[in-house]
Amino acid sequence: MIILRVALDVPLPRLFDYRSEDATRADIGYRVLVPFGTKHRVGVVVDVAATSEVAESRLRPVEEILRDVPPLPREWLALAEFSSDYYHRPLGEVVMSALPPRLRTAKAVPRGAVDYVLTPAGREAFALIPVRQKRLRALLERLARGRATETELEVLARGARSLVKRAIKSGWVDSIDPPQSGFSFVRAHKLTWEQQHAVDALRGGLGKFRVSLLFGVTGSGKTEIYLQLIAEVLERRGQVLVLVPEIALTPALENAFRSRFPGACIFTQTSAMAGLERALGWLQAHRGRADIVLGTRLAVFTPLPRLGLVVVDEEQDASFKQRDGVRYSARDLAIARARAAGVPVVLCSATPSLETFHHATSGKYELVQLTRRAIDRAALPAIRLVDTRAHPPSDGVAAPLLEALAARLARGEQSLVFLNRRGYAPVLACPACGWVKGCKRCSAQMVVHLAGQRLLCHHCGLAESIPRACPECGEPDLQSFGRGTQRVEVTLAEKLPHARILRVDSDAVRARGKLDDLLERAASADILVGTQLLAKGHHFERLTLAAVLNADSGLFSSDYRASERTFAQLQQVAGRSGRANLPGEVMIQTRYPDHPLYRSLVNHDFTGFARNLLAERREAGFPPYVFEAALRAESGEMARALHFLESAVERAPQSRASLSVFDPAPMSLARLAGMERAQLLLQSRSRPRLQTFLREWSAMLYQMPTHGVRWHLDVDPIEF
């Protein structure tokens, strides 16, 4: 008897054994359909064995080995095993969530475009086919002269499709992948000296594992550098994986890639794609046909048998960290993957994460630096702080800022007004009794939105209509406090009535269709009001002023990563200004113009800023000088969640050398979508020690009675 060991998406840290009559080791990596309870499930064969710990009488037979998709290669399974081990999640959960949704089902996947060829058996059979079967003979005759597409065959004979199907069944005809067209690389720019230097340095790393940080100011032409590098890898017949943070940006980037690599086989992988489209692209990568795979974090799991290079753009971006299920960091897995494949990985950023910066300056990673903008006349923008104590804002906008906007308007130049808060106003309150509208499912306030006069919770999505009066005291005149993008749009329209103003945030994208369409219109607007959606990656020729309204909110957060994020975001916003021939300016409204973060920003001194922060982190014992993990618990009641964490600590392994276990505490957003959330934090100076502890502990946690509490471990957490 043969035993298949199957990874299934079940929250238990084990594999499941099934019987098979005819499986061999060659079946490792295939998807299988198996009975599970009273239903069926799709899993992946990760091992084939002769014996099982399960009694023979209780072993159930596999339903079907799904051979329409080639087996997942060993490297892919190794990456899944690494993730399972490092993030302490069952292998089955990792494997199944790493597959495109369509492949988590048994539904057959159409092959996509194929060519047909005659088999030797078909050649022999041809002579025996009666002359009256004209159409079949015509088809086979054609195929005897070489491969043909379905369209070519359709032209030759009506109903070719079903005839071919029958011929395939009889073993006369085979389907094969169409031949790969060659690609070319369009050199759009003559590289600057700095860029050329960077390309040369990175080129030296091809063919072996190495982590490089491509660290360059915004507009220094980092994209151009990795495009060159990609061209070299493609020439060597390698495949390239490019990870980007933002789903909304991938279509624009895909277009850019297509125009620079005509003929190359390029696929995108994001969660926003239709199921079949994503599965087909994934399969092209898996079959080794895709040259470039471009995607968000989930793309890190795309199988690429000829992988030659991994690029992670905006490597510091928090969206590379998965926030539920298997809580992986795609950037970290990209590095693990490159190491296993023996290929280089290039991390790109103008404001790298402190972890990466630390490794790059301590010599663990290669540091490739760019200090000037690529376009000749484009200097870095001048950054000005507008002290709101000296210039009190009216309706949220200080006078110098309004003047600067008006001046751009008069010159026909474009401005960007940035604030990282969408909606009309973040608070609805009663001026009479102080009542504030909170979300009934979250420990957060509901945001006033103009569209439909609604209140929305930005955490759980709950929508309500705006009450007519205060539910506490009956006061009819409820007031909105604070400012979101919608309110700023309204204010600016009043103050600058002739300006063409366009708001670009996720609400606008949802209301008006694709981001692409919105960006196209953005080119002709005088003032863009937007959130981080506008801050990343875009290039507006006429944009000469970037104004930031509420940057101070990021200065005094309890989250030690907040200032790092604030700096990165402000630098990104600043980077939108003056990218072409016109000099750019940035204005930041603040009550704290002397804050060190702003000082560094004004001096374009990320390095100094990062060194200071790193010194603080070393002092305080935070990453990258310690490694962290969190155990979180969720329940309808906070007491239960906390109690679960307390009993988890009691049962934790006793060997806690060089490990700090902190007390359980409610999370900073304690209530989310009706669940109370608590966590306890673990820190260690030794990653291996932390991992050993977590391994023993998680095995125990799976045995623990939960009494309805949901729990998970988060390794290298980024939210608290």
Residue from 43, 92, 122, 216 binding ligand ADP (CB under 6 A): 216
Q: Does 189 bind ligand ADP (CB under 6 A)?
A: yes
The contact mask relative to Zn ion for 405-444 (x = CB under 5 A, - = no) is -------------------------x-xx-x---x-xx--
**Helix boundaries (H) for 595-686:** 596-602, 606-620, 638-650
Q: Which is nearer to ligand ADP, 219 or 288 (CB)?
A: 219
Peptide bond before 624: cis, by omega within 30 degrees of 0? yes
Q: Which is nearer to ligand ADP, 213 or 280 (CB)?
A: 213
The contact mask relative to Zn ion for 263-292 (x = CB under 5 A, - = no) is ------------------------------
Q: Which is nearer to ligand ADP, 280 or 568 (CB)?
A: 568
- Rounded Cα distance, 594 and 317, in Å: 27
Residue from 220, 250, 349, 683 binding ligand ADP (CB under 6 A): 220
Contacts (CB under 6 A) with ligand ADP, residues 322-381: 374-375
- Rounded Cα distance, 577 and 586, in Å: 7
> If we measure between CA atoms, which residue out of 98, 6, 90 comes closest to residue 52?
6
**Angle (deg, nearest 10), helices 91-98 and 74-87:** 130
Count of residues interacting with Zn ion (CB under 5 A): 15
Q: Does 219 bind ligand ADP (CB under 6 A)?
A: yes
* 236 CB burial (10 A radius; 0-12, 13-18, 19+): exposed
**Lookup: tokens for 459:** 């955490």
Q: Are 391 and 474 in contact (CB under 8 A)?
A: no
The contact mask relative to Zn ion for 448-467 (x = CB under 5 A, - = no) is ---------x-xx-x-----
Q: How far is the CB of 463 from Zn ion (least distance, A)?
A: 10
Q: How far is the CB of 338 from ligand ADP (least distance, A)?
A: 21
Q: Which position has the token pair 């376009």?
A: 375
Contacts (CB under 6 A) with ligand ADP, residues 221-240: 221-224
89: helix, strand or coil: coil
Which stretch, 74-82, 185-193, 449-457, 501-509, contacts ligand ADP (CB under 6 A)? 185-193
Q: How far is the CB of 201 from ligand ADP (least distance, A)?
A: 16
Q: How far is the CB of 194 from ligand ADP (least distance, A)?
A: 9
**Lookup: tokens for 76:** 């892919």
Residue 499 identity (one-letter amino acid)? A
Helices (H) and strands (E) in the chain, counts: 22, 32
Q: Are 268 and 256 in contact (CB under 8 A)?
A: no
Q: Does 195 bind ligand ADP (CB under 6 A)?
A: yes
Q: Does 252 bind ligand ADP (CB under 6 A)?
A: no
> If we measure between CA atoms, which residue out of 715, 683, 685, 686 comes closest to residue 698?
715
Paired with 211 in beta bridges are 345
Residue 620 identity (one-letter amino acid)? A
Q: Which is nearer to ligand ADP, 158 or 190 (CB)?
A: 190
Q: Are 214 and 368 in contact (CB under 8 A)?
A: yes
- Rounded Cα distance, 368 and 352, in Å: 12
Please give the order of strands across the beta sheet that includes 501-504. Answer: 382-387, 585-590, 543-548, 414-418, 527-530, 501-504
Q: How far is the CB of 436 from Zn ion (least distance, A)?
A: 10
The site partner of 67 among Zn ion, ligand ADP, none (C-beta below 5 to 8 Å per kind) is none
Contacts (CB under 6 A) with ligand ADP, residues 573-592: 579
Q: Which is nearer to ligand ADP, 81 or 232 (CB)?
A: 232
Q: How far is the CB of 379 from ligand ADP (least distance, A)?
A: 13
The site partner of 219 among ligand ADP, Zn ion, none (C-beta below 5 to 8 Å per kind) is ligand ADP
Please give the order of strands across the beta sheet that includes 239-243. Answer: 266-269, 292-295, 239-243, 307-313, 344-349, 210-216, 366-370
**Helix boundaries (H) for 58-102:** 74-87, 91-98
CA angle at 688 for the pair 683 and 690, rounded to the nearest 5°? 30
Q: How far is the CB of 280 from ligand ADP (least distance, A)?
A: 30
Q: Which is nearer to ligand ADP, 192 or 698 (CB)?
A: 192
Q: How far is the CB of 298 from ligand ADP (least distance, A)?
A: 23
The site partner of 224 among ligand ADP, Zn ion, none (C-beta below 5 to 8 Å per kind) is ligand ADP
Reduced to 3 DSSP states, what percent helix, strand and coil does the chain have, rounded to the nearest 5? 35, 25, 40
Residue from 74, 521, 539, 591 binding ligand ADP (CB under 6 A): 539
Which stretch, 325-333, 338-346, 471-479, 531-539, contacts Zn ion (CB under 5 A)? 471-479
Q: Which is nearer to Zn ion, 442 or 573 (CB)?
A: 442
- Rounded Cα distance, 276 and 260, in Å: 26
Which stretch, 406-414, 468-476, 592-600, 606-614, contacts Zn ion (CB under 5 A)? 468-476
Which residues here bind ligand ADP, judged by CB under 6 A? 189-192, 195, 216, 218-224, 374-375, 539, 579
Which residues here bind Zn ion, judged by CB under 5 A? 430, 432-433, 435, 439, 441-442, 457, 459-460, 462, 470, 472-473, 475
